[in-house]
Structure 1
Amino acid sequence: MVEQKSDLAGTTAGNSKLTQATDQISSLIVLSHSIKVFPSKWKMIRNKLEELLAILSSLPPDIQASADTNTALSTVLQSIEETTDCCNDLGQKCVEHSYSGKLLMQSDLDIILVKFDSYVKSLSEFVNADGFLSSCNHAIVVSRPGPAASRDDIRFYLKDLLCRFKIGRVEMKIQALISFNEVISEDERYVRIAMEIDGVVHVLMKFLNSKEIRVQEEALKSVAVICGFDSYKSVLVGIGVVSPLIKVLEGGSDLGKELSTRCLMKVTANCDNVWSVSAHGGVSALLKICESGCDDAGGGGELIGLACGVLRNLIGVDEIRRFVVEEGAIPLSIKLVRSKNEGSQISAMELIQVLASGNEFVRGLIVNEGGIRVLVRVLDPKSSYSSKAREKSMRALIILCSDSSGYMNSLKNYGFMDHILYFLHNGEVSIQESALMAASWLSGTSDEFRKAMGDAGFIPELVKFLDAKSFEAREIAAETILRLVAVPRNQKRFVQTGQNVNLLLQLIDPEEGNAGNRKVLLSIIMSLTFCNEGRKKILSSGYLKNIEKLADDQVLDAKKIIRNLSSSRFRSLIRGIWHS
């Protein structure tokens, strides 16, 4: 940055008024840092000085060359020199504490601040005059600082960009915004320092309302990055970022709407900010975006997904949840499930799941709108839905139908169990795991469903998962089987296949190190000992020794199994095998 500043000095050499003004401003900025009294006043003055310096540094070479001969510019530069001289005198007095009174010094500093502010306005008006920036692409541009740049170098660079935000024509503003987005996306130091500079955030807010689409879009990119910092979300909300973001949702470009929803997603991750979005009409705007995905084309899946994501954040507040429901979110979500766009389908199912969570009344509304039927239809193997959509459907149905026997019966009538069984047998790994979770949930609902699952043929499919590679799959399968064999007729079904018993006994081998899942497997074996056929199969298995070893190692469940096997007419069969 030192070389860049010297380049500027070289460019202005020979332009006496411009050189004098920039030198005086630079010296005064340095002096201001050493002043300890009236710190807030001097900070405001320093900010104006830095703004003036940035404007002067952005002047095109031909304007710099004519600084002494251009009457309007020369007059402003002369006034700046006179005011900086006066300000320098006040600064020296503050350093030396030689001023006559605090009130008088504060008044003098206020007058100086007003003058510097007027120079900023005058130069801005002058810069924007017709023809002045016709060759703006040739204006001096401060080079981006390197990776090891100091804080002062970064601040100087950002100040220069701020100047271009304020005084540049459209193309200059866009280029400055692009440069700004590059640095804040790559190095968070630029975000922190930019947030410390007066005016940066307010200019970005102004750009959000710009009629120039590219300016608006680049500003949205900036805000999206800044929203990613938890400490700055409240700052943005406090200065009114929500209102222009909602306006973009209502009338911006497709990219603008996408960027706006990304910003709102980040802002509403903090529940304290959701009220602001609702108060500015955000719910209606978001639902309107979702509605656009219900047409035959079924486009805009990413935008609709983002809109649904913001709505999910909003409905974390019960009052807003009720409003979202009143505005028609439920029938709209069900329509989106039927749409042709996978992204819209998945987002809608996620929204339904959150709407249904912990609210019996809303669950009832979803069911009355045909939610169960539509979600089960997603699971139909003959349908064209993706595996990911089917996984989301299973999760939504589990939330929707839990704790209601009536809803569970609807699930059964619509063929939910048949679809789950199909995917346990034929699905890809990911959907098999989801189907396994759904089967586990079903097995925990009632004896009626446990009997129905046994009748439908779930047991052979679940047994296949007992020696799966995934420990979680093995564990879920074992727990599900344990619940199923609590029903006597499922015990008989389990032992009809002799290999099922052999597999159980094999998996509890003390040498294999399956201790993490062994307790559940032993509980299954215990249940089978209450069935005559089960006891026979266990006693005739070549892996009975594994239970004996565990019993000898004082594993309580194994000892209980041996006692059950030893009872009544089976006692004599194993008397020579094990003694209690």
Structure 2
Amino acid sequence: MAGEETTHEVKSRQSSLKRAIERSCSLISLSHSVKVFALKWQLIRNKLEELNSGLVSIEDAGSGRNPAVSGLVRALMVALGESGDLAKRCVDLSYSGKLLMQSDLDIILAKFDRFVKNLAEIYSTGILTPANAIVVSRPGLGACKEDMRFYVRDLLTRMKIGDTMMKKQALVSLHEVMNEDDRYVRIVVEVGGIVNVLVGFLDFSEVAEIQEEAVKAVLVIARFDWCKGVLVGAGIIWPLIRVLECGSEKGKEGSARCLMKLTENADNAWSVSAHGGVTALLKVCANGNSKAELICLACGVLRNLVQVEEIKRFMVEEGAVSTFIKLSQSKVDNVRNSSIEFLQSIASEDDSIRQMVIREGGIRALVRILDPTLLISSKTRELSLQAIEKLCFSLPNCIDMLVSYGFIELLLNFLRKGEVSVQELALKVAAKLCATSEEAKRALGDAGFLPEFVRFLDAKSFEVREMAAEALSAMVLVPKNRKRFVQEDHNIGLLIRLLEPEEVNSSYKKFLLSTLMAITGCHRGRKKIVNSGHLKTLEKLAEAEVSDAKRLVRKLSTNRFRSMLSGIWHP
């Protein structure tokens, strides 16, 4: 008889659990019909979904016979009945007053919250462990949204009320499904509570694996622009910064990646700064024990933050310039590259910071990278050349400084012997340098750049040819350079031959003609043009109404040079 009573009790408990699951599902459905007190009902619905998922897990695990579960279910059924009555009155608008209804809703929300906590305590006793829990199977490809939502809710329950191992497994599963199917990201954001749970796990410092898995899940969500506001609204910035300061190495890297995604939006930059993120990121970069990957990620976040003027000023005050000049001399390519890019970003369009970079030895450090005897990648040398041009060329007295550091000779070395990509960049930098001042043109001429510019006039790349032609046209405006150019007999003939093809680009043609016009400024230059044997080319261009060619032929057709022309051209 006692055995029969025990069986009856067990069946009764299981039946009550089933009714509680059904009642909660019905109430969740009804809550969607409520149009008043929307925020309150959303919070209640979130709690109901957590409870429902937890009860389903208990039922699946066959743990409904536990007396503790039975007591919770009995109390929950009463609360579900009360909540159902409130929902119907809200749908029918039959409640007596708004304040009284708000108070009733607060009371029922508090009850459901207490049930969630009680359920968590029951789980913590071990009645549902990874050994006997029935894990909801992951929906297959093409599954309906409702099946996906059910799976995500089950993961949420396990994250909330499971033990450490269960929490970790749920986080791993969540990361996998979001990473493989973007639809899960939207469901995760829609299902109330998951983002907040993930944010809470970022403070799980006592279990590094939980924290690391939470960071990985958050990073997947942060890939989507429309999700960034949800993450920030859930208060994720401050926990990410704490992970960056105190987390494991993997946690720190994940946190930095997430902050980089979030700070692509300048509005979030303020939140990072307000929570001490700038200081934390700079400490990462200044810490000699930081891993290279973490330093590069921190650099990336800081580059996003410098777009805000006030934050940039704070970085400067915190010693960012000296920190990154030091990092530019790192033995690790990626760290060097990231630091050079940061220096360019922080000094962009800001002469005062450029001057600070120079004062603290930044340009000298960048020039040192160009030393051909050092084992440094072409990418790093390219970045260094670009940074020197952007940081230095617009400042007064830059030529004297560059000459004193040996930059001109190093630049010429890359122009002559560098890899193709570095060689072309060196040409571009040299062309920009000679456009800065007469002093620069003289320095480049003295160093021997003229023959190199001439050599590139006939390069395969049109862009390279045009850069060389532009640089040459600027260089020969200096008398000393003009004299050097004319001394080489083949130079003038080459320029005119390059004008012969009809398809010659107009800007390239203009630079070549400009160079020839400058050469006519000296007697020897005019004479060599006339004696070059290519005057017919110039005459054809003049007849084709090319204005620069017309001016050139007019100049050559005057005075005693007129009789030397093979054919007289009349304007």
TM over 0.5: yes
Equivalent runs, 1:191-340 vs 2, <5 Å: 191-210=185-204, 211-293=206-288, 300-340=291-331
Question: What letter corresponds to residue 520 of structure 2 in structure 1?
Answer: T
Contact 1:304/1:344 (CA < 8 Å) preserved in 2? yes
SS at match of 1:358: coil
Contact 1:305/1:343 (CA < 8 Å) preserved in 2? yes
CA distance in 2, matches of 1:109, 1:369: 63
Match of residue 172 from structure 1: 166
Match of residue 125 from structure 1: 121
CA distance in 1, matches of 2:93, 2:363: 79
Quote how far apart the aligned CAs of 1:513 are.
4.5
CA distance in 2, matches of 1:509, 1:152: 73
1:435 aligns with 2:465: no
CA distance in 2, matches of 1:146, 1:540: 83
Q: 1:83 aligns with which of 79, 95, 119?
A: 79
Match of residue 509 from structure 1: 500
CA distance in 2, matches of 1:311, 1:101: 53
Question: What letter corresponds to residue 76 of structure 2 in structure 1?
Answer: I
Q: 2:111 aligns with which of 108, 115, 129?
A: 115
The 10-residue stretch of structure 1 (96-105 or 114-123) with the greater mean CA deviation from structure 2: 96-105
SS at match of 1:382: coil
CA distance in 2, matches of 1:535, 1:60: 100
Question: What letter corresponds to residue 492 of structure 2 in structure 1?
Answer: V
Quote how far apart the aligned CAs of 1:441 are.
2.1
CA distance in 1, matches of 2:16, 2:335: 62
Contact 1:301/1:342 (CA < 8 Å) preserved in 2? no
Match of residue 368 from structure 1: 359
Q: Which runs of 5+ in 1 are unaligned?
A: 1-11
CA distance in 1, matches of 2:17, 2:450: 88
Equivalent residues, number:
560
Q: Which runs of 5+ in 2 are unaligned?
A: 1-10
* Structure 2 CA distance for partners of 1:150 and 1:365, relative to 1, 3 Å: same
Quote how far apart the aligned CAs of 1:310 are.
2.3
Match of residue 536 from structure 1: 527
Quote how far apart the aligned CAs of 1:455 are.
1.9
CA RMSD of aligned residues (A): 2.8
Quote how far apart the aligned CAs of 1:30 are.
2.7
Contact 2:557/2:568 (CA < 8 Å) preserved in 1? no
Quote how far apart the aligned CAs of 1:483 are.
0.9
Quote how far apart the aligned CAs of 1:571 are.
1.4
Match of residue 475 from structure 1: 466
* Structure 2 CA distance for partners of 1:302 and 1:541, relative to 1, 3 Å: farther
Quote how far apart the aligned CAs of 1:146 are.
4.3
CA distance in 2, matches of 1:83, 1:329: 58
CA distance in 2, matches of 1:307, 1:172: 32
Identity %: 53
SS at match of 1:59: helix
Contact 1:60/1:139 (CA < 8 Å) preserved in 2? no
Contact 1:268/1:310 (CA < 8 Å) preserved in 2? yes
Contact 1:60/1:138 (CA < 8 Å) preserved in 2? no
Quote how far apart the aligned CAs of 1:73 are.
0.8
CA distance in 2, matches of 1:252, 1:558: 70
Question: What letter corresponds to residue 473 of structure 2 in structure 1?
Answer: L
Q: 2:154 aligns with which of 144, 160, 169?
A: 160
Question: What letter corresponds to residue 175 of structure 1 in structure 2?
Answer: Q
Equivalent runs, 1:180-195 vs 2, <5 Å: 180-195=174-189
CA distance in 1, matches of 2:524, 2:337: 47
The 10-residue stretch of structure 1 (162-171 or 361-370) with the greater mean CA deviation from structure 2: 361-370
Question: What letter corresponds to residue 252 of structure 1 in structure 2?
Answer: G
CA distance in 1, matches of 2:12, 2:511: 86
Quote how far apart the aligned CAs of 1:394 are.
1.6
* Structure 2 CA distance for partners of 1:453 and 1:99, relative to 1, 3 Å: closer
Q: Cα deviation per residue 1:351-408 (whole Å; 9 max; x = unaligned)?
A: 2223333333333333232222222111121222222221222222223323333342
CA distance in 2, matches of 1:420, 1:280: 44
Question: What letter corresponds to residue 117 of structure 1 in structure 2?
Answer: D
CA distance in 2, matches of 1:145, 1:544: 80
Quote how far apart the aligned CAs of 1:291 are.
2.3
SS at match of 2:287: helix
TM-score (norm 1): 0.88
Question: What letter corresponds to residue 229 of structure 1 in structure 2?
Answer: F
CA distance in 1, matches of 2:72, 2:464: 77
TM-score (norm 2): 0.89
Question: What letter corresponds to residue 250 of structure 1 in structure 2?
Answer: E
CA distance in 1, matches of 2:168, 2:517: 73
Question: What letter corresponds to residue 239 of structure 2 in structure 1?
Answer: P
* Structure 2 CA distance for partners of 1:60 and 1:180, relative to 1, 3 Å: same
Contact 1:420/1:435 (CA < 8 Å) preserved in 2? yes
CA distance in 2, matches of 1:18, 1:409: 85
1:488 aligns with 2:479: yes
Contact 1:58/1:160 (CA < 8 Å) preserved in 2? yes
Contact 2:17/2:59 (CA < 8 Å) preserved in 1? no
CA distance in 2, matches of 1:231, 1:96: 35
SS at match of 1:209: coil
Quote how far apart the aligned CAs of 1:452 are.
1.9
CA distance in 2, matches of 1:108, 1:556: 89
Quote how far apart the aligned CAs of 1:545 are.
3.4
